[in-house]
């Protein structure tokens, strides 16, 4: 007696498994729910990654045309990012504010102001740490006012009692700079390794590190009520795709390698590690 034919597995949206799938991405065939579905210029459904890639290419083309026009007219190149400009008139506080605002409001133009090879890891690292610390504040607020349900293992409950996620996050606060620095180095390191193996690395590791460091401006979008997490994820992908293309003068394939560490990180956290 032959085995019954196997039915196709149900389609599930990778980002929102609990929501109904409403379309398939016309580029990669990925199932998407209503929240993840985007429309391209031809009004066809695409997934968030390919929607972001289309935006990156469009804005990159606009900024490139403007830069070429300025160069043809003999105008000076775009000024260096305020955070790394020497003797900023407003001091470090205003320098950070101007840089963060430029990164969030005009990311593609901001990428062309980043000095990719200065042999200086401290400046972009400090920028990333400040953005990460600020982004931690709305996370703490969310854990305090709307804590998700938490089931602690018996050994943890015996050692710490009924500790809340908010208190756990507060206890972890002193470790935040170390955790962010390690994650930044691992993500940039893995991406640069992949770029090198694929022949897409046109600049040294510092350029890749700077891309990931300044992409941490995405954490500031966590302050947006309701849509903060979605906006942060969308911007992070947008900045990494565009940043790697500008930093290493590579194509779409090379830029997509920047998403590998992010996807690995999401897989580890979703797996409970």
Q: Could you read off the pLDDT of 212-240 as tens digits, one per residue?
A: 999 999 999 999 988 888 998 889 888 88
44 plus 146 within the same structural domain: no
pTM score: 0.68
2 falls within a domain: no
236 plus 144 within the same structural domain: yes
Q: Which residues contact 184 (CB under 8 A, 6 or more apart)?
A: 125, 128, 209, 212, 213, 216
229 falls within a domain: yes
73 falls within a domain: no
What pLDDT was estimated at residue 76? 38
pLDDT over 70 at 185, yes or no: yes
46 plus 167 within the same structural domain: no
**Pairing relation of β-strands 45-46 and 31-33?**
unpaired
Top pLDDT among 78 and 93 is at 93
What pLDDT was estimated at residue 125? 95
CB 180 within 8 A of CB 132: yes
The residue behind tokens 């034919």 is: 5
131 falls within a domain: yes
What pLDDT was estimated at residue 157? 61
134 falls within a domain: yes
Top pLDDT among 187 and 5 is at 187
Supply the range of the domain harboring residue 212.
119-270
Confidence of residue 114 (pLDDT cuts 50, 70, 90): confident
Q: If we measure between CA atoms, which residue out of 237, 248, 259, 256 comes closest to residue 117?
A: 248
Render pLDDT for 99-112 as a digit per residue (tens, 0 to 9): 999 999 988 888 88
Number of structural domains (the chain) is 2
263 plus 177 within the same structural domain: yes
262 plus 146 within the same structural domain: yes
As to burial, measured by CB atoms within 10 angstroms (0-12 exposed, 13-18 middle, 19+ buried), residue 3 is: exposed
Most confident of 17-26, 76-85, 128-137, 200-209: 128-137
134 plus 224 within the same structural domain: yes
């Amino acid at each position: 007696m032959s085995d019954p034919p196997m039915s196709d597995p149900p389609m599930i949206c990778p980002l929102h498994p609990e929501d109904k799938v409403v379309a398939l991405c016309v580029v990669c065939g990925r199932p998407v729910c209503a929240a993840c579905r985007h429309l391209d210029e031809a009004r066809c459904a695409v997934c968030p990654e390919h929607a972001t890639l289309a935006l990156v290419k469009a804005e990159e083309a606009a900024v490139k045309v403007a830069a070429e026009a300025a160069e043809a007219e003999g105008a000076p190149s775009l000024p260096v990012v305020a955070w790394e400009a020497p003797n900023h008139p407003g001091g470090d506080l205003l320098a950070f504010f101007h840089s963060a605002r430029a990164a969030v409001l005009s990311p593609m133009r901001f990428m062309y102001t980043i000095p990719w090879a200065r042999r200086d890891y401290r400046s972009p690292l400090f920028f990333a740490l400040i953005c990460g610390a600020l982004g931690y504040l709305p996370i703490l607020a969310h854990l305090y006012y709307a804590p998700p349900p938490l089931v602690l293992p018996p050994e943890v409950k015996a050692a710490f009692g009924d500790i809340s996620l908010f208190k756990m996050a507060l206890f972890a606060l002193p470790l935040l700079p170390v955790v962010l620095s390690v994650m930044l180095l691992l993500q940039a390191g893995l991406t640069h390794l992949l770029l090198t193996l694929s022949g897409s690395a046109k600049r040294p590791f510092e350029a890749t590190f700077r891309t990931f460091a300044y992409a941490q401006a995405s954490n500031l979008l966590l302050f947006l009520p309701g849509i903060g997490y979605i906006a942060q994820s969308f911007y992070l992908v947008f900045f990494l795709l565009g940043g790697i293309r500008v930093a290493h003068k590579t194509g779409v394939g090379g830029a997509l390698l920047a998403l590998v560490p992010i996807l690995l990180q999401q897989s580890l956290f979703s797996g409970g590690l």
